Structure 1
Amino acid sequence: MSPQKRSIVILIADDDAEDRMLVKDALEECHLSNKMHFVENGEELLDYLHNRGKYTDKIAHPAPGIILLDLNMPKKDGREALKEIKADEKLRIIPIVVLTTSKAEEDIMRTYNLGVSSFVTKPVTFAALVDTMATLSKYWFEIVELPRP
């Protein structure tokens, strides 16, 4: 395991508690030891990234090296949050992987136009999710050189 692989914090933005648990379990099944933090909507995501509200402690809530983003969330959906993140000079460098149930061509085109790094449709079975997370983790944590947060 490379030192970079160990140090990258994963921030997962998803409003569905079961989906958050499944993604966490799938990443752990892949023997990924990265720290994971979770937010439940786009407002919390932006608060976390800007260290506002309950996320002011930068040690407890470190800058992520990558964001897994669901599109359909309450308060501020993933599309709106993505637009704000990519418009922010300090945040735009963070790779964002959309992980959603949407297969809509409009969502795919819009998120890539907004600067998303990858668009992945959530698999239906846990085994397929583990396979997807294994592929994502190999690519993002072993192959790609990521900027330091």
Structure 2
Amino acid sequence: MNDPSERVILLVEDNADDELMTVRAFRKSNIRNPVVVVRDGAEAIDYLFIQGRHADRDPSIRPQVVLLDLHLPRIDGLEVLRRIRTHEQTRTLPVVILTSSKEERDLVEGYQLGVNSFVHKPVDVTAFFEAVRQLGMYWIVLNEMPSPRRSA
């Protein structure tokens, strides 16, 4: 998976407006990677561990990065992060918390659980687009990950 355009972005977001703005920001920044959107923590777990509704997805397609909201239905973002870091096959997966939460305890717990980055969603649309553009450029274009074979 050396071609950056093949790297999947997993967006875990229950707010349709934030989802639309995030996808638009990627497109405006010429980040054309596939964006898989899941709307709650339980579906994120199903996608990542190839179970439930996502049991039939291609297991060779691993997300390059997970953009994770915190305040999600069913299973919250911190619990999703906890489960990602607990399992061998997802432990090294880059996770960026992208949230409107300004709670210090969310920031601290996120880092204690092993988040790679914690970004507050800017309220201003222009600032939001710029934040997402920078996230995409770093995590999709610049960051290098070990292949599943090398990290196992």
**TM-score of the alignment, normalized to the shorter chain, above 0.5:** yes
Q: How many residue pairs were aligned? A: 147
Distance 1:109 1:38 in 2: 26
SS of residue in 2 equivalent to 1:80: helix
SS of residue in 1 equivalent to 2:26: helix
Q: Which residue of 2 aligns with 1:119?
A: 118
Distance 1:148 1:24 in 2: 26
SS of residue in 2 equivalent to 1:84: helix
Q: Which residue of 2 aligns with 1:148?
A: 147
User: Does residue 1:35 correspond to 2:29, yes or no?
Assistant: no
User: Does residue 1:130 correspond to 2:129, yes or no?
Assistant: yes
Q: Which residue of 2 aligns with 1:109?
A: 108
Question: How many Å apart are 1:147 and its aligned residue?
Answer: 2.5
CA contact (8 A) 1:32 1:137 kept: yes
User: Does residue 1:16 correspond to 2:15, yes or no?
Assistant: yes
TM-score after normalising by structure 2: 0.90
When residues 56 and 20 of structure 1 are mapped into structure 2, their CA distance, relative to the original with a 3 A threshold, is same
TM-score after normalising by structure 1: 0.92
Query: Which 5+ residue runs of structure 2 have no aligned equivalent?
Result: none
Deviations for 1:26-63, whole angstroms, at most 9, x for unmatched residues?
11111101110011111000000111122122239932
Distance 2:147 2:122 in 1: 30
When residues 25 and 60 of structure 1 are mapped into structure 2, their CA distance, relative to the original with a 3 A threshold, is farther
Identity within the alignment, %: 37
Alignment of 1:23-102 (within 5 A): 23-59=22-58, 62-102=61-101
